[in-house]
Structure 1
Amino acid sequence: PPILVADEPTGNLDTRNAGIVFDLFGSLASAGKTIVMVTHDDELARLVQRTVVIADGLIVDEVRR
Structure 2
Amino acid sequence: MFAARSLFKANAQILKNVAQTRNMSVIATPARNKVSTGEMVFLISAMVVGWSIVPAWVLCNIKNYRTKE
TM over 0.5: no
Higher helix share: 2
Q: TM-score, with normalisation over the residues of structure 2?
A: 0.28
The structure number with the bigger radius of gyration is 2
